[in-house]
Amino acid sequence: MARDTTQRRAELRDRLIDIAEDEIRANGLASLRARALADKAGCAVGAIYNVFDDLTGLVLAVNGRTFGRMGAEVSDAVRQGPSDPVGTMVVMAKGYLRFALRNPRLWRALFDVQMTADSDVPRWYLEELQRLFALIAAPLRILHPETPADRIDLMTRALFSSVHGMVLLGTEHRISAVPEDRIDEMIEFLIPRVARP
Amino acid sequence: MARDTTQRRAELRDRLIDIAEDEIRANGLASLRARALADKAGCAVGAIYNVFDDLTGLVLAVNGRTFGRMGAEVSDAVRQGPSDPVGTMVVMAKGYLRFALRNPRLWRALFDVQMTADSDVPRWYLEELQRLFALIAAPLRILHPETPADRIDLMTRALFSSVHGMVLLGTEHRISAVPEDRIDEMIEFLIPRVARP
């Protein structure tokens, strides 16, 4: 009996993540409603809160998958790209741009999820982020072998934030969207200047 | 009579912008409601739509003021700062960071206002943005006198987007907030590398 319950909970959890992922992909984070999710999952609204603390917990689970897919796609692009560290970083940034363009609403949900306090960010979520930052830090460490870890961390954040800003504003029609190849050009301009010793 | 009507409309328009600005400053864009605005302005809900096409039009008017204040503050900081072009750009970026930290919700409203199509962005709004970009382009042109205008424009957007990304993610608790002086440090690291010939 207890095993059945655990399994049913796990199945419901996966089903809810699937449904929420489809909904965010199609209509964005703001359209997520417990009532509609429960209807699609064939469960009571209350059952959602047996497997997630709140809808934010569900969105974080979707985001966890998105982080995973994004990391895998960027890593694939890196394996097929040039082997020099600066070239690797340019390929990563372009991989990030492509992922954002192909998954605009899932990508936005990574940043738009509402958390009221730092303590709301679960440890596994921060670890996923750290894994993505580690992809950027690796070529930086090759380029700057003498630089202390703390400084590499700052450079990593500065580079990721910069690429994120270019992708965000470059794809943002309400501000100043630019053609996709101009975002590539910005990345090609900026990364070598920032990353090189 | 006609002049009275015009004046009353202008007064209502200003009053609504004041009220919406206070509301966004205190509670953010998402909390803006026509009903509450009308109550505070002492007018009917319908009267709002006599002076603005929709709430987005009102938010754009608030954002226009915010752009103006931001531009003035950044220009002030530049006048008091170092006179070399790279130093000027660092001061600008730090001015942008301070403005975002002091006016977090008004600053977010600049980027979060909903517009469904490019055609929804009024000309005056794009001109305000151009004025801000021109502040960045001026020192870049001094540093790169031979570079064509189109490339300066790309460098300007890349730099603004990068600083925006660092300010956004650096102050964003749900992702990876860093202490304010670390954002300064990122700016000091990145700007000279990107801007120098």
Q: What is the pLDDT along chain A (197 residues), one digit of tens a residue?
A: 566 888 989 999 999 999 999 999 999 998 899 999 999 999 999 999 999 989 999 999 999 999 999 999 999 999 998 999 999 999 999 999 999 999 999 999 988 887 655 556 788 888 888 888 999 999 999 999 999 999 999 999 999 999 999 999 888 765 666 778 899 999 999 999 999 98
Do B73 and B165 lie in a common domain?
Answer: yes
Do A44 and A65 lie in a common domain?
Answer: no
Do A36 and A58 lie in a common domain?
Answer: no
Do A33 and A84 lie in a common domain?
Answer: no
Do A39 and A122 lie in a common domain?
Answer: no
Interchain proximity B158–A115, CB inside 8 Å: no
Residue B34 domain boundaries: 1-52
CA distance A88 to A94: 10
Do B130 and B40 lie in a common domain?
Answer: no
Chains A and B form CB pairs within 8 A to the count of: 105
Do A105 and A20 lie in a common domain?
Answer: no
**What's the number of domains chain B is made of?**
2
CA distances, B76 to each of A33, B72, B103, B129, B141 (Å): 46, 6, 17, 18, 20
pTM: 0.90
The domain that contains B31 carries what CATH number? 1.10.10
Do A83 and A106 lie in a common domain?
Answer: yes
CA distance B90 to B102: 18
Do A123 and A112 lie in a common domain?
Answer: yes
Concatenate the DSSP letters of all residues of B114-128 into one string.
--SSGGGS-HHHHHH
Using CB atoms, which residue from A114, A155, A174 is nearest to B115? Answer: A174
Do B73 and B119 lie in a common domain?
Answer: yes
Do A179 and A83 lie in a common domain?
Answer: yes
CA distance A99 to A93: 10
Interchain proximity A165–B162, CB inside 8 Å: yes
Do B139 and B165 lie in a common domain?
Answer: yes
